[in-house]
Copies of this chain bind each other. A is one copy, B any other.
């Protein structure tokens, strides 16, 4: 793993898939096809891309029962406990509607309302990620969304992974379709005969899913366009090299394009971590992916001071940040940009991936500068409430009319003045 002394500005190399013109064109074709021909188009694309013929896309009660039979009961109970932790954390994000009252009769407020419907995309392919189902569905459920739809591409036999179905049930999903890719995003955005449209689409996916989400953005809301996973670890000489190495590798094993970075004030630690990474890599099942990722996107930055190290973290704005320093809590206030912050030796990043409760859907690619972990606010919206009394309008109406006239909007001024005249 390369060790780099921080000189000035640090930028980590990140891999963003923008999609080729060909891929974008393909996605546009699929979306317009699904808009025009609905279920028929879905069926064709599923046959062509997922290599399976489906009459109905709906998951049946029987398929759910079979899923519970297939999954180890101990795993089900871990999923239940994780779901409960996630629910409990996200419930604390709930906010009440509020209002203020004034003596002249004015009432102003903010009304919070859940979205009517949300679609959650769950990627298919080689691995099954029940944790992703929990993390996307539970905040929507806690927010009060009445209709939560899950879509995921079927395997060659027309099935979804049992653990994914179990997680969906435990999270409270009641509507599941075996549809994937850009065609699933199009169905969620615009609806088909068998799939009613939703107001927002969340969840990760491959480049076609990402491009399709970008395409429908505006007609429906989307969560984000996620990039490869990232971790930055801020550590000093009090941290253990073997634990840091293990955490770096836990990101690296996700994807050859994942990004794992250590920022430290200790050259001794830097060297020890570099050695440990090599050592642990040799015995890792996914060592090919992880070693490619470490070679291409891994780095150890050595800073001259803690302040410089913290500033480097803020420049990186990492998805995951671990702080393993003597005075970790003191640094928390200085961290401006990070999706999730794990503090101390025992807060290894996988704790947050599965179990602790905070969301694992986090802003990647430096977007922690302006984005948040997926949370309850993402599934609610606000409406302003304005109640002016006769007295309030008498007090302020002339000023409002003058402001309107200054902007050249006479009808605005008159709408106020007609009340002032007519109010007796």
Chain A residues near B (Cβ < 8 Å): 74-75, 78-79, 81-82, 89, 92-93, 95, 98, 100, 106, 108, 110-111, 113, 115-116, 126-131, 163, 199-200, 214, 217-218, 220-221, 225, 240, 242-243, 246-247, 249-250, 252-254, 280, 284-286, 290, 332, 335-359, 362-363, 367-373, 375, 377, 381-390, 392-393, 396, 399-404, 406-416, 418-419, 422-423
Nearest CB on B from A402, distance (A): 6
Determine the distance from Cα of A337 to Cα of B221 in the docked complex, in whole angstroms. 14
B253 and A412 contact, CB distance less than 8 A: yes
Contacting residue for A368 out of B95, B339, B340, B381, CB 8 A: B381
Quick check: B381 and A372 within 8 Å, CB to CB?
A: yes
Assess whether B382 is in contact with A375, with CB atoms less than 8 Å apart: yes
Smallest Cβ-Cβ distance to A253: which chain B residue: B411
Identical chains bound together, number: 2
Among B353, B368, B407, contact of A412 (Cβ-Cβ < 8 Å) = B353
A88 to chain B, nearest CB (A): 8
B351, A286: Cβ atoms closer than 8 Å: no
CB distance from A249 to the nearest CB of B (A): 4
Q: How far is the CA of A352 from the CA of B416 in the complex (A)?
A: 11
Whole-angstrom CA separation of A335 from B113 in the bound complex: 9
* Closest partner residue, chain B, to A394 (CB atom): B346
Tell me the minimal C-beta distance from A161 to chain B in angstroms. Answer: 10
Contact of A353 among B370, B373, B404 (CB under 8 A): B404
Contact A383 B338 (CB under 8 A): yes
* Cα–Cα distance between A108 and B414 once the two chains are bound (Å): 53
Q: Which of B221, B252, B363, B396 contacts A371 (CB 8 A)?
A: B221
* CB atoms of B407 and A116 under 8 A apart: no
A126 closest partner in B (C-beta): B408
Question: Which of B214, B220, B346 is A370 in contact with, Cβ under 8 Å?
Answer: B220
Q: Once bound together, how far apart are the Cα atoms of A108 and B249, in whole Å?
A: 24
Known: A115-B370, A403-B78, A411-B253. A383 touches B284 (CB 8 A): no
Q: Are B368 and A373 in contact (CB under 8 A)?
A: no
**A416, B350: Cβ atoms under 8 Å?**
yes
Give the contacting residue for A284; candidates B131, B411, B422; CB below 8 A: B411
Contacts of A423 on B, CB cut-off 8 Å? 346
- With both beta carbons as reference points, the residue of chain B lying nearest to A354 in the complex is identified as B403
CB-based contact A387/B353 at 8 Å:
no
7 contacting pairs across A/B (C-beta < 8 A): A200-B370, A250-B412, A351-B386, A354-B400, A363-B381, A370-B381, A373-B382
Inter-subunit contact B381/A419 (CB<8 Å): no
- Given known A78-B399, A252-B411, A286-B411, contact A350–B404 (CB-CB < 8 A): yes
Given A370-B115, A415-B349, the answer on whether A100 and B92 have CB atoms closer than 8 Å is yes
**Bound Cα distance A263, B111 (Å):** 22
Given B130, B246, B342, which contacts A418 in the complex, CB threshold below 8 Å?
B246
Residues of B within 8 A of A344 (CB): 387-389
